[in-house]
Structure 1
Amino acid sequence: MFEKIVGHQTITNHLEKEIAGGAVGHAYLFSGMDGIGKKKAAKEFAKALLCLDTEKKPCGHCPVCIQIDHENHPDVNVITPKTGEVSIKINQIREMISDLSVKPYSGNWRIVIIDGAETMTPEAQNSLLKSLEEPLSYNIFILLTSHPQSLLPTIRSRCQSYHFQPLSCEEIEKIFQEETEFDSQAINEAALSAGGSPGMAYYLLNNREIREERIHYLREIYSLLRGNEIKVFSLAEALSKDKITSQEILEFLINWFYEVGLLLEGQPLPGEAKPNKIQIEFHKILQNEKNKAIIKTLFEMMATIQYNVNLRLQWEKCFIKIMKIQKG
């Protein structure tokens, strides 16, 4: 039923069972990093519920499936911040709630996908809450977010929650080998540098210099872990130029060391993937407890740079601490 979704097998199995058993919920929370596949999964779920094909749902080629793909189906409403806005305002939610009182035009369900649910203002969230508390039988809400903690606890508690884990390099490579004309080396480099996000891999495929930059950072950090103290300052200098870049690299590194940690613990990588050459190099020089301490340090750095701080100084402190952890 969800053949177009690569990875996330546990989630798609649950959704498929709900549809087959006629036990579809009225509110879902899909969480996970940006570009992980939450929106695609939400659309495939909507297509599976509304598809016109009598044998295979979703078929992907009936008028309903095509409309949902193009976000112009009358019973599937995708809500995002309006053009020029950074948040979903209360007026958008009120307008959506007004539409919900009308029964579906063509199928048995009316589906609302709120993409970037964490951007809803407090007023918008409170307005949505009543519809979640007293849902009409034909309405389904799917909230997509990379920051579930930004949503009201009362909203989260009324949703069936599914957390989308980062994909393996092999899973990301599979997506792009089937859907794009990029060469295999470029796909491999993008998958390696994407931190488990197909969306980021696509961005990196179209921005070669950034893709190469991430691989460069891995090599530099590897050198730092081997005791090259000069890297502390050169890395800090490079990463201190832009706060957004710092956040992206931090997310990438946290996922990177998390996967190295799986190898150190003898656990399989996401999607049962085989470790790549650079992961093997890191695995050889790291110990499990030290790797955990490095991940904790990176999370602390992520929390620190949310404030107005001296980025270069904070990166230097971060890398010095990582070197001390590695030295023991």
Structure 2
Amino acid sequence: MFEKIQGHQTITSHLEKEIKTGEVSHAYLFSGIDGLGKKKTAREFAKALLCQDQRDKGCGHCSVCTQIDHENHPDVKIIGPKAGEASIKISQVREMISELSIKPYSGNWRINIVDGAERMTPEAQNSLLKSLEEPLCYNIFILITSHIQSILPTIRSRCQSYHFQPLSLVDLETVLCQETDFDKNTVSEVVGAASGSPGMALYLLSNSEIQKERTHFLRELYSLLKGDEIKVFTLAEVLSKDKATSQAILEFFIHWFYEVSLLLEGHPLPNHGEPNPAHRAYHHLLENEKNQAIIKTLFEMMATIQYNVNLRLQWEKCFIKIMKIQKG
């Protein structure tokens, strides 16, 4: 079943080898930007471990594989932020932990997947830590994250880590042309903006207004960095409508400044993509040290909004700090 995973053959080969040799770890950390197939890989890994028709690979069509695809297999627990929530609460982690002592229903493993692990509150992460330190022999944990820096070092050190790289532009375009009905010209328009992520590319293909919205926010943020203090309040007002909006734009900003940092350090963009006019404008405006401080500030904002806070106030504080960083 791992052949369904595009662009991550090294990782899937390692996982398949671990199953065949019986050297499966008790905890894994799948990291990389959103939309690369980390959760899909976790599901295929679960199938390979639990499928009774085709052990070590997973057949994809038996009752076990079908239940895993539908996320209702009794031995595969998946948690993530609840609808309308920005974080994974400690209550969700405690509920998962309370079931760890239950022996597997049909196979040899219980697989516990935390999707969006960076969104666990610090309390939730600390609650999970003890289970990672003293795992029962039949429990496997798979933590999926797009921001590995937000995972506690003590958790990271107890996991076998696999970092998912963005797909090349050629591979991404090939995947989209094979798996969607969009014409090649439409696909080509979004490939460059998807940062090597099939999930992001599909999202942009289905939501044409998103790219326009992001371009707008980058212009507004650029004006803020140039000293337009009014943007602190207008941007904060727009971005504070709900946590989901804040989370999505914050992730976009973090990835954007990461790409700017690559240019400032003399490195190519992911997959050797060409800088667009916005990249060049930010590149000329920022210094690397200040850019890194802005990224740190955005990660701090990410941690803050996991709690029940006043989003508008937090965005205002964040933007004011970013302006001060730029002013030096």
Q: Aligned to 2:49, what secondary structure does the other structure show?
A: helix
Out of 273, 276, 279, the residue aligned to residue 278 of structure 1 is 276
Tell me the residue number matched to 2:296.
299
Give per-residue Cα distances to partners, 1:152-183, cap 9 Å, x unaligned: 66544432233445556555544433322234
Compute the RMSD of aligned alpha carbons: 4.4
Q: How far did 1:290 drift?
A: 2.3
Q: How does 1:36-115 map to 2 (within 5 A)?
A: 36-52=36-52, 57-80=57-80, 87=89, 88-89=91-92, 92-99=95-102, 101-102=103-104, 104-105=105-106, 107-115=107-115
Tell me the residue number matched to 1:215.
215
Q: Aligned to 1:97, what secondary structure does the other structure show?
A: coil
In 1, the alpha carbon distance for the partners of 2:124 and 2:296 equals: 30
Q: Aligned to 1:92, what secondary structure does the other structure show?
A: helix
User: What is the one-letter code of the residue matched to 2:283?
Assistant: L
Give per-residue Cα distances to partners, 1:248-303, cap 9 Å, x unaligned: 33432332343354456564544xx2413517x73598379824532432432553
Between Structure 1 and Structure 2, whose CA radius of gyration is higher? Answer: 1
Do the aligned partners of 2:77 and 2:111 also contact (CA within 8 Å) in 1? yes
- 1:293–1:4 Cα change, 3 Å: farther
Q: Which runs of 5+ in 2 are unaligned?
A: none
Give per-residue Cα distances to partners, 1:168-199, cap 9 Å, x unaligned: 65555444333222344554454444555544
Tell me the residue number matched to 2:258.
258
In 2, the alpha carbon distance for the partners of 1:116 and 1:197 equals: 16
Q: Aligned to 2:322, what secondary structure does the other structure show?
A: helix
Tell me the residue number matched to 2:144.
144
Do the aligned partners of 1:187 and 1:205 also contact (CA within 8 Å) in 2? yes
In 1, the alpha carbon distance for the partners of 2:185 and 2:232 equals: 26
How many percent of aligned residue pairs carry the same amino acid? 50
Out of 313, 318, 322, the residue aligned to residue 318 of structure 1 is 322
In 2, the alpha carbon distance for the partners of 1:28 and 1:285 equals: 36
Give per-residue Cα distances to partners, 1:199-254, cap 9 Å, x unaligned: 444433332222222134456767x69x9x58775687345422354553343233
Q: Aligned to 1:77, what secondary structure does the other structure show?
A: strand
In 2, the alpha carbon distance for the partners of 1:22 and 1:204 equals: 41
Q: How does 1:123-272 map to 2 (within 5 A)?
A: 126=127, 129-130=130-131, 133-136=134-137, 138-146=138-146, 155-165=155-165, 172-194=172-194, 197-218=197-218, 233=230, 237-238=234-235, 240-243=237-240, 244=243, 245=245, 247-262=247-262, 265=265, 267=267, 269-270=269-270
Q: Aligned to 1:286, what secondary structure does the other structure show?
A: helix
Q: How far did 1:89 drift?
A: 3.2
User: What is the one-letter code of the residue matched to 1:92?
Assistant: E
Q: How far did 1:42 drift?
A: 0.6
User: What is the one-letter code of the residue matched to 1:28?
Assistant: Y
Q: How far did 1:25 drift?
A: 1.0
In 2, the alpha carbon distance for the partners of 1:194 and 1:98 equals: 41
- 1:318–1:60 Cα change, 3 Å: same
Do the aligned partners of 1:264 and 1:288 also contact (CA within 8 Å) in 2? no
Q: Which runs of 5+ in 1 are unaligned?
A: none
